Amino acid sequence: MKKIAIIAAVVAAVLFSARVRAGTLEANAVWTGTVKVSGRLLVKPGVTLKIEPGTVVKFVPAKPDDTGLAQCGMLILGTIIADGRPGARIRFTSAAQRPRPGDWGEIQIIRSKGSSFTDCDFRFGGWGLHMHHTKIKISGCTFMRNRFGGIRGKGGRVEIAGCILKGMHIGIRYLSGGPYIHNSDITDDRTGIFWRQGCNPRIKYNNFQGNRDYDIKLGELQSGNIDARLNWWGDGRPKLYDRHRESYIGRVITKPALSARAKIN
């Protein structure tokens, strides 16, 4: 009987081709297949949502709030584990027949423990991921065609490895903290990375190319220098907004630079 009960509990936790409406996830769940999310889903503290490789999460388009973000997405106060693999990537995208950037909002993660994203694709959101004071690794993920940007955050221990952030307003935007960004492509954005204030990141072995305004931009309250040595800056000089533009902000240190593209892994 005990074995049957365990099997029943596992089956109950798995959602096959389900639709999840706005509300609260109060028990551990495993998603697989195609899952449609309407409204904003809250994952409570102590609750784990696991998303299996190959799963497609489709967000139903919603009206924007006063910040311009569509009111559809996720707020993770517990744990989210979305670890895809090559050939079975996890997709977060719009449920619209003709998707557009900004159809859904973002996945926001606050003070989460044990969360991770591996081999995931984020498309047609406002932002892909938004972290606050969370320790998390984001590896092998792509962020494209989101209305505002790919990743934003505040504080926490964040590692961004082997990712592609392409064709958005901002690739990465950060306030305080020191994320580790390495072996990633940050290309064809308006601004590759925007450090707003109080950041002390590690930025190594990345490729910056084709960003229209800036590869790296410092906010008006970012007084400290940013170490961006050992990156590849394409065929030209780095596009920077730092002390060379405004005397009261820090410098972006780019030398020595890589002479060839870094490996994405």
* Cβ neighbours, 10 Å, residue 131: 26
Q: Which two tokens stand for residue 152?
A: 């934003």
Q: Is the dihedral of CA 48, 118, 92, 129 positive or negative?
A: positive
| Spatial separation of the C-alpha atoms in residues 136 and 126, rounded to whole Å | 21
Phi-psi map region of 205: left, alpha, beta (phi>0 left; psi -120 to 50 alpha): left
- Confidence band of 19 (pLDDT split at 50, 70, 90): confident
Q: What is the DSSP letter of 70?
A: B
**Is the model's pLDDT at 147 over the cut of 50?**
yes
Give the confidence band of 18 by pLDDT, cuts at 50, 70, 90: confident
* pLDDT at residue 90 tops 90: yes
Q: What is the DSSP string of 179-231?
A: -EEES-EEES-SEEEEEEEEE--EEES-EEE--SSEEEEEEEE--S-EE--S-
Look at residue 8 and give its three-state secondary structure: helix
pLDDT tens digits, residue range 172-218?
A: 999 999 999 999 999 999 999 999 999 999 999 999 999 999 999 99
Residue 259 and residue 235: Cα distance in Å, rounded?
9
pLDDT tens string 220-245: 999 999 999 999 999 889 999 999 99
Residues with Cβ within 8 Å of residue 197, at least 6 apart in sequence: 175, 176, 219, 221, 222
Question: Averaged over 7-36, what is the pLDDT?
Answer: 73
Omega before residue 238 within 30° of 0, cis: no
Between CA 151 and CA 139 the distance in angstroms is: 12
Average pLDDT for 47-61: 97
- Structural domain spans, the chain: 1-134, 155-265
Residue 21 has pLDDT above 90, yes or no: no
Which pTM was predicted? 0.92
Let me know: does 143 contact 166? Beta carbons within 8 Å. yes
CA 128/CA 149 separation, integer angstroms: 7
Q: Which two tokens stand for residue 103?
A: 């159809």
Q: Give 256: exposed, middle or buried? Use CB within 10 Å, 0-12, 13-18, 19+.
A: exposed
Instruction: Output DSSP code: residue 11.
Output: H
Assigned token pair, 237: 């000089």
Cβ pair 165, 186 in contact under 8 A: yes
